[in-house]
Structure 1
């Protein structure tokens, strides 16, 4: 059994962890219906494994050297590589407000991403005082590694930077998804408060 299959089965077998992933980390393995007609620029098919509340989808790519990379595609037409295996993807998903970190990355500037990550962490702790405990619970249950936020940002930046040329998300009709790096450095209405 591939490591990604084992990890997905482990999530499925633990309803409390599955619920935390869905409610606190927006990774819902019951939402696999999205992503029809998407593939990689290489022509490789994508296997949907989870979705989020906004219509985004997580996909496993074809196996490469025993590992299956993870690609994310949102409902707004952005997509790309987030990790070279499911464990690494989940470490970022659980340990970091990764979507906002990318969304406010100044076009992929690592320093801007680090600053955004610190703001996002402050908001997460304010909005969900249990987030640290929930992260610990999920990482322990799934045997994931804990990394400090700055290290997760570096790992996320490195993965997304390797989207081209092999992990660009395309549509059956020839459309190409935008990169996951957002162009803004902070929210446009009022900045980080």
Structure 2
């Protein structure tokens, strides 16, 4: 698995699409990123998670003190997260999606707008558009399950390749965790971890 950053406290890797961040409940869901990495370093801990079908930057902590400090950065919203997505339909400009989200069904897990849901906020900006599809930069200010997928589906623009939220069929979910930016919890140095996008553009024949 491709490392993006490595030091005595932190490891950042480029998670491939199709791999769970951590094991699931079924016997067929035991293979995961953390399982593979712990085979070589048993003191690694996930700081956050990406959906199975999302690729990109994933941060791990080495040791419990590193996990505590990194988790505090995320909880205090001191980590800047940037994603790239391709959606169905045309959008222009920029905006903010702030629909409260709750789980609407269990199998498969699906989230959506609900008056009793948790507050959720996603900032978006158009990167480019062609032939009825749009590529967006997304910055989630909160970290809810399926937040980006549910927010975009809520406004009628599901992510391409998303079978749960109604995106156009594709070989994979067109969502990539492009970058994380934060101050190193031990050295104080500013880190920006970047994973080049593997998403084709345009993803369909023009």
Q: TM-score, normalised by structure 2?
A: 0.28
More RCO (CA 8 Å, sep 6+): 1
Bigger share in helix: 1
Bigger share in strand: 2
Q: In terms of Rg, which structure is larger? A: 2
